[in-house]
């Protein structure tokens, strides 16, 4: 069978990797995309593995399974000889809030992180002026500037093909492919006529601050994440805003909040500011298209992850591939898959 993955962001490449892991030689895999590596939204992402409590699949149990599957797979890469090349590493740090414990505790991560607990009284004093609530987490960092090219190389080494192509209609792929995995993020709004996919604008600083080794999050939207060669300082969530221009007022707000949480940032050197549009949909769409098609093309959707594509991509990829296998077996009976 001929499979096509449309989209080469972190969701698309994880889907292609899962196809090759799960189905191997029974499938030819081709990736079609108009943007790769540093051209994608993932290039500016901090890479922090941690979902928001508003990240939602079809049910809480399914959503948590996505997160667990993702963590387990990234963690296996982290501890393999490929961890550094793939940009996957350990990261520890703190969530702080003066509002409520709900601001610092996420049930989606309970039982997933190797260590996840309430902050001690002493740790609550790490924030200037102290904090009323806090939690400590040992999680992962997945830096797309390393992960995406590593994944592409892995896909090609396993026989996958890569084509730079702008897909404007999924129907146009029916002559060349038997199944299409739609991992187009924001592009799905126009491609599928799904206007519940909304841009979620984010703005961050990338700075040089090698002394920062642990992450700090304060009331979710103020965060400092140490990456391999820089520190990501954010952030913002502007739902429905599609501007890619750096907003100077948002810049000032981000920096003031971050320095208040981590005063040593005042000595950091700013490398650049970056704006990205995250594809938000509630719930995330991961399903086989149920429409009956005369051309027999199978379409499986996997998009709408918002700012949590990195966190959930391996899990939703597994779910999407299973949806394809289930539909294929139901349709043909004695499937080879």
- Binding-site residues, please? 167, 184, 223, 278, 306-311
Distance CA 326, CA 316 (A): 15
Q: What is the pLDDT of residues 50-76, one digit of tens each?
A: 999 889 999 999 999 999 999 999 999
Q: What is the DSSP string of 251-297?
A: HHHHHHHHHHH-GGGGGPEEEEEEEEEEEEEEEEEEEE-----TT--
Q: Is 111 exposed, middle or buried (0-12, 13-18, 19+ CB in 10 A)?
A: exposed
Q: How far is CA 300 from CA 164, 180, 319, in A?
A: 21, 6, 10
Asked whether the predicted pLDDT for residue 42 surpasses 60, the reply is: yes
What is the pLDDT of the chain when averaged over all its residues?
94
Q: Do 262 and 224 meet the contact criterion of CB atoms below 8 Å apart?
A: yes
Pairing of strands 179-182, 2-6: parallel
Tell me how long the chain is. Answer: 337
The whole-number pLDDT of residue 150 equals 98
Asked whether the predicted pLDDT for residue 335 surpasses 70, the reply is: no
Q: What is the pLDDT of residues 226-267, one digit of tens each?
A: 999 999 999 898 999 999 999 999 999 999 999 999 999 999
Q: Do 18 and 183 meet the contact criterion of CB atoms below 8 Å apart?
A: no
Q: What is the pLDDT of residues 125-160, one digit of tens each?
A: 999 999 999 999 999 999 999 999 999 999 999 999
Q: How far is CA 268 from CA 73, 201, 248, 264, 272, in A?
A: 34, 24, 18, 8, 12
Distance CA 188, CA 198 (A): 10
Average confidence (pLDDT) over 159-183: 95
Average confidence (pLDDT) over 189-216: 96
Rg (C-alpha) for the chain, rounded Å, is 20
Q: What is the pLDDT of residues 91-121, one digit of tens each?
A: 999 999 999 999 999 999 999 999 999 999 9
- Binding-site residues for D-dopa, please? 223, 278, 307
Whether the CA torsion 92, 303, 4, 315 is positive or negative: it is positive
Classify domain 2-334 at the CATH class level. Answer: alpha beta
Domain spans of the chain, in order of start: 2-334
Angle between helices 144-157 and 10-23 (to 10 degrees): 30
Pairing of strands 133-142, 115-118: antiparallel
Residue 43 binned pLDDT confidence (cut-offs 50, 70, 90): confident
Q: What is the pTM of this model?
A: 0.95
Tokens standing for 194? Answer: 């799904």
- Binding-site residues for FAD, please? 167, 184, 306-311
Distance CA 70, CA 59 (A): 17
Asked whether the predicted pLDDT for residue 332 surpasses 70, the reply is: no
Percent of the chain whose pLDDT exceeds 70:
97
Percent of the chain whose pLDDT exceeds 90:
90
The whole-number pLDDT of residue 334 equals 34
Pairing of strands 231-234, 298-305: unpaired
């Amino acid at each position: 069978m001929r499979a096509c993955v449309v989209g080469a962001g972190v969701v698309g490449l994880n889907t292609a990797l899962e196809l090759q892991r799960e189905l191997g030689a029974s499938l030819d895999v081709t990736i079609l995309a108009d943007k790769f590596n540093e051209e994608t939204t993932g290039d500016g992402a901090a890479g922090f593995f941690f979902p928001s409590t508003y990240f939602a699949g079809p049910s809480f149990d399914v959503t948590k399974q996505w997160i667990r599957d993702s963590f387990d797979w990234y963690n296996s890469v982290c501890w393999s000889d490929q961890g550094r090349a793939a940009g996957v590493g350990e990261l520890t740090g703190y969530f702080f809030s003066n509002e409520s414990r709900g601001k610092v505790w996420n049930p989606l991560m309970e039982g997933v992180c190797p260590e996840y607990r309430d902050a001690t009284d002493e740790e609550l004093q790490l924030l200037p002026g102290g904090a009323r609530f806090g939690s400590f987490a040992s999680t992962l960092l997945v830096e797309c500037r390393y992960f995406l090219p590593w994944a592409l190389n892995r896909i090609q080494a396993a026989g996958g093909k890569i084509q730079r192509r702008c897909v404007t209609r999924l129907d146009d792929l029916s002559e060349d492919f038997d199944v299409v995995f739609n991992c187009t993020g924001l592009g799905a709004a126009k491609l599928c006529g799904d206007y519940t996919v909304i841009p979620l604008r984010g703005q961050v600083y990338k700075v040089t601050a090698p002394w920062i080794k642990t992450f700090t999050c304060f009331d979710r939207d103020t965060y400092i994440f140490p990456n391999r060669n820089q520190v990501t300082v954010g952030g913002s969530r502007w739902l429905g805003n599609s501007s890619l221009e750096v907003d100077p007022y948002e810049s000032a707000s981000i920096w003031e909040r971050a320095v208040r949480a981590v005063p040593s940032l005042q000595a950091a050197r700013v490398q650049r500011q970056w704006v990205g549009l995250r594809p938000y949909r509630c719930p995330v769409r991961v399903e086989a298209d149920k429409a009956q098609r005369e051309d027999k093309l199978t379409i499986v959707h996997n998009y709408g992850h918002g700012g949590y594509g990195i966190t959930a991509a391996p899990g939703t990829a597994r779910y999407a591939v299973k949806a394809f296998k289930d539909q294929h077996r139901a349709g043909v009976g004695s499937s080879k898959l």
